[in-house]
Structures are given as structure tokens and as C-alpha cells.
Structure 1
Amino acid sequence: MARFYSLRKKDEDEAKTADPFGVLRPKVKNAEQQQVNIYDMAKAYVFLADGFEDIEALAPVDILRRGGIDVKTVSINATDMVASAHGVQVKADMMFADADFSDADLLMLPGGMPGAKNLDEHEGVRAALVRHAEQQKLIGAICAAPMVLGHLGLLRGKRATCYPGFETELEGATYTAEPCTADGNIITGKGPGASFAYAYRLLEEFKGASVVEELKKGMMYEF
């Protein structure tokens, strides 16, 4: 379900006063469009460590940006350059030390090895995830990266998926083996092939199913 809130009556009255004939107001087509999306300016951060899986990091960045989410890539290295698991050099948008992530609506962890292990061993990343989870904000992790959440106890009592072989790292979770699993504020993906399904599911939390379906059509996603 998209995270929406309804337009307050006071705002409706003010809108009618400013535009009494409805000329300037958009024509709504369905109930979902009649709601004001409080996440129009949603902020997301993707943590990048050396050895991250290319598609698991960059496909969600692409899809979320297309969907209107403000996404920043964050290097946890000593520099802003991060090497992917397949040797692609990526210049991150920012360094980990340059943000406290208090404005984040979504934190994302790509998989890949040793990328996921490097994230798991980064105390700053771990602390940011715990603070984020305490506020019941959205967290996404895919492939090997759900193990980071498992080690922090953030998956206890939840359903989750991950790359086969990492199930034992999902402490307290029920392993689903699904391509993508959403449970509360946690969304997990199984592996590289699930990157699109995972990214679309994350976007749906903020923009709703109809926006996601339109984006799929525009991207020729016909599966």
C-alpha cells in the first residue's frame, strides 16, 4: 500500500477559494489520485561498498529516480570511488560521513560479495539501519545483504528472502525463497534477477501501484 495521507478539508477550502472553477486543479481519475502523496520528495540512500553487485545497486537507483524519488548513492570507502563486484568503478554521490540520514525515507543495501560483508562490518551503516528501523522507516536489502539486517535482529518475526545459502543469516526470520518479499518496513530481494521486481516494490511503497504500472509500461517491462 502506498504511504499516502488525505488532503485536509482546510486545504480543500483554500484550493477552492484560489481556483473556484477548478481550472488549475488537476482532473483526478481515481481515488488514489485524489490523495496527496506526502512522499513526492521522498529521499533514499543506497550504501555502496567495494564488491557490491552492479545490477542490485543501480537498477533500483534508476527505477526509483524515474519514479520521482530523490536517490543518493553513498560510499562507505575512504573515497567517493567504489568498485563493483564486476570491476565497474562508480563515483558515489556522497561520502558516508557527509550525511546523518535523518531525512531518509528509505535505506537500501545491495548484495554482492564482498560488498554485503563490507556493509555488515561498517559500524556507521549498522547504526544508521538501527535508528531507521526504530522509526519504522523503510529498509530494502537484496541478495546477500539481508544478512546485515539479520545480524542486527531487524528480521525477527518477519518474512524475508535472500540469495540461497544465506538463509541461516536471517536470524529470527521466516525464509520465503520468493523473488521479493515485503513485511512491514522491510523489503528483501532474492538476487540479481529479482532486482527489477525488488525496485518496483520499493517504489510502490511511495508512489502506489498505478504509478508503478505506468513506469513498467514505459520501460517495456512485460513480465
Structure 2
Amino acid sequence: MKSVAIVLFPDVLLLDVAGPSEVFSIANRYLAPADRYQLTTIGTQAEPIRASNGITLHAETTLEGASGPYDVLLVPGGPGAYNDQHPRLVAWLQAAAQRSRRFGSICTGAFILGHAGLLDGQRVTTHWHYTERLEKAFPLAEVETDQIFIRDGKLVTSGGVTAGIDLALSMVADDHGKQLALDVAKVLLVVMQRQGDQAQFSPLLGGVAKDETPVTRVQHYVLDHLEEEFSVERMASLAAMSPRHFARVFVREVGMTPMEFVQCARIDRARYLLESNALPLKTVAYRSGFGSARHMRSLFSDKLGLTPAQYRRQFG
């Protein structure tokens, strides 16, 4: 049997625990007894553990009683993962992860792995809302913002919440073949491999800073006039700067080039229109400043891994 251990701590996100657990549990229905997954939960305390939604969980064992090694060792996310320190869990993970065949995190569980030094020098991901925070907290990690899940050696990390199901399905496929993973996905009514990546869920632009600067004035103008043509030269003139100086200041303040900002703003506007109404794609493209549905389709596919039509079917 393959052993799967999931760590529990106060304020854990229940779906991060239940999603992968159900994948492995349903896979067991199709497997011979000797090939099945043996699931166990490991608590940071002997007392009942309250999840972030208020439901109380009872771990099968504690850190002190966990035997290991495990074929799969997973750390779920939740407010308790990124807001609290877990010195005992971190110390335990440093040794337990090395003994396990595969280890990793679901959603913001990556923060706990980071405190254990297990992300340093690794390609990792987490929920799109927390990738910047993860980058700042663990600068030695190579944080990727758009992947549903990432494998780097024996380390596996995944995006937010339901991405843990994707991660577990991929492990089942590795262990027992793609057909079994497909059978499990059908039972759960999920797709085996999602179209696109985390970018399809997250806004490509952060909020425009409230401070009144030449750059923010240009940003607000662009957002209010997306149907107009923009170039670095035109935006620089709006800011009363030379194009070269404007471009340098823009990148420093915004973290992307002026034309990247325009492109992302147009994609976000198109996404809103696709989600909120049934306008023809040509109209969506015009109102978002793309000029043509073909141009919009090309940029959507490049940035989100989905066409506008596919995005509407998924989120509209």
C-alpha cells in the first residue's frame, strides 16, 4: 500500500484536506488491496482541531506519534498556514519531508514548507492571491504565479483550494496510470486536466495606487479610455515626460511596462464583459480596445490559455 499523510493544524482550510483525501479514497475503489492508498492525518495537537470554517477535526495521530516515512506527505493551506507560526510542525517537517518519497503543499500550505526551508532553490506555486507574499517571505524560492500545480523533484506544490484535487489526480496517474485518474475525475465530476492556468482566475492587474502621480494619472486615463489607441509615446505625453523616462518610471512604480499594462487592462475588461453578459465577441473586443475578435483571441490564448469563447463557457 502507498501511505498518504496529511497534516492538520488550527485554522486549516477543510477543502484542502478533503479534496485530495477524496481523490485517493475513490481511487481505492478501483485498486487491489495491496495497491491502495492508506490515508492518515497528523495533528499538531492531541486535542480536536478547528478548521477555518468552524468544523472540528480529529487527527489520527500527532507529530510525536507519526511513524513515516510516507509515499506522499501533504501540508494543506488556510489562514493558519500563512498567519501563524508552527515551530514544532516546521521542525518535524524538515526531517519527515526528506524521508518521504514525495512531499508538498496545497494552496497556502507552501508558507509552512517555506518556514521549514523546503522551498529554497525550488520551483513552487501557491494560490494566485498569495504568490507575491510568498515571494517576499521566501526570496530563495522560484515562485511561479500561473501554474495549477508544479513538480520539482520530490516537491509538489499547488495553487488554491481545488488545485489540491488536480495535484492528487496527477499523483494517481503517476502511480496507476491515466485511465484510473480519469475514472476518479469522473466520479468527482471534475476535469482531468484543466484548460489554462491560475491566471484565468486572477485579475492580471493589481489595484492602481491611489497616490496622484503622473503614472497613476496615465493609468486611470487608460482604464477609462481602453477603446483608444495607446503607445508609449502617447502615454508619455499624457504624463508630460519623455518616452524613455516615462517607461523607466512606469516599470519602477507599476512592475510592468506601459504596453503590458494596457494589454492586461484590456484582457481584464474583456473578462468582465464575458462573465457579465452575452455580448457578441466582436463587441467585447471593441469595447475592450482590441480592435478585432481575432486579436483578442490571440492575446487571451497567450495570457490565459483559453480562448474568449472557452472563458465565457467556463465563467459566464
TM-score normalised to the size of structure 2?
0.52
Correspondence 1:210 to 2:179: yes
Structure 2's unaligned 5+ residue stretches are 29-36, 195-316
2: distance between equivalents of 1:136 and 1:85?
27
Show the counterpart of 2:49.
82
Correspondence 1:49 to 2:9: yes
1: distance between equivalents of 2:25 and 2:82?
23
Show the counterpart of 1:14.
none
Deviation at 1:128, TM superposition (A): 3.4
Show the counterpart of 2:122.
158
2: distance between equivalents of 1:136 and 1:52?
22
Residue 78 and residue 133 in structure 1: after superposition, are their counterparts in 2 closer, same or farther (change >3 A)? Answer: closer
1: distance between equivalents of 2:71 and 2:165?
20
Residue 211 and residue 128 in structure 1: after superposition, are their counterparts in 2 closer, same or farther (change >3 A)? Answer: farther
Residue 207 and residue 91 in structure 1: after superposition, are their counterparts in 2 closer, same or farther (change >3 A)? Answer: same
2:102 to 138, 141, 150: 138
Task: Find the residue that maps to 1:129 and give its secondary structure.
Answer: helix
Given that 1:160 and 1:173 are in contact with CA atoms closer than 8 Å, whether structure 2 keeps it comes out as: yes
Tell me which amino acid in the other structure corresponds to 1:83.
Answer: R
Given that 1:54 and 1:84 are in contact with CA atoms closer than 8 Å, whether structure 2 keeps it comes out as: yes
Moved more, 104-113 or 142-151: 142-151
Given that 1:158 and 1:173 are in contact with CA atoms closer than 8 Å, whether structure 2 keeps it comes out as: yes
1: distance between equivalents of 2:159 and 2:20?
14
Deviation at 1:154, TM superposition (A): 1.8
Deviation by residue 1:25-68 (Cα, 9 ceiling, x = unmatched): xxxxxxxxxxxxxxxx0001111011000101111111112223
1: distance between equivalents of 2:154 and 2:96?
10
Structure with the largest fraction of strand: 1
Residue 154 and residue 160 in structure 1: after superposition, are their counterparts in 2 closer, same or farther (change >3 A)? Answer: same
2:25 to 51, 55, 65: 65
1:1-223 mapped onto 2 (5 Å cutoff): 41-68=1-28, 69-79=37-47, 81-102=48-69, 104-115=70-81, 117-118=83-84, 120-123=85-88, 125-135=89-99, 137-163=101-127, 164=130, 165-177=133-145, 178-222=147-191
2: distance between equivalents of 1:112 and 1:72?
19
2: distance between equivalents of 1:70 and 1:169?
34
Deviation at 1:157, TM superposition (A): 2.4
Bigger Rg, which one: 2
Show the counterpart of 1:21.
none
1: distance between equivalents of 2:115 and 2:87?
12
User: Percent identity, aligned pairs only?
Assistant: 21
Deviation at 1:122, TM superposition (A): 3.5
Deviation by residue 1:88-127 (Cα, 9 ceiling, x = unmatched): 112222233222323x111110100124555x5232x323
Structure 1's unaligned 5+ residue stretches are 1-40
Given that 2:81 and 2:112 are in contact with CA atoms closer than 8 Å, whether structure 1 keeps it comes out as: no
Deviation at 1:184, TM superposition (A): 1.0
Given that 2:73 and 2:97 are in contact with CA atoms closer than 8 Å, whether structure 1 keeps it comes out as: no
Deviation at 1:210, TM superposition (A): 2.6
Residue 183 and residue 220 in structure 1: after superposition, are their counterparts in 2 closer, same or farther (change >3 A)? Answer: same
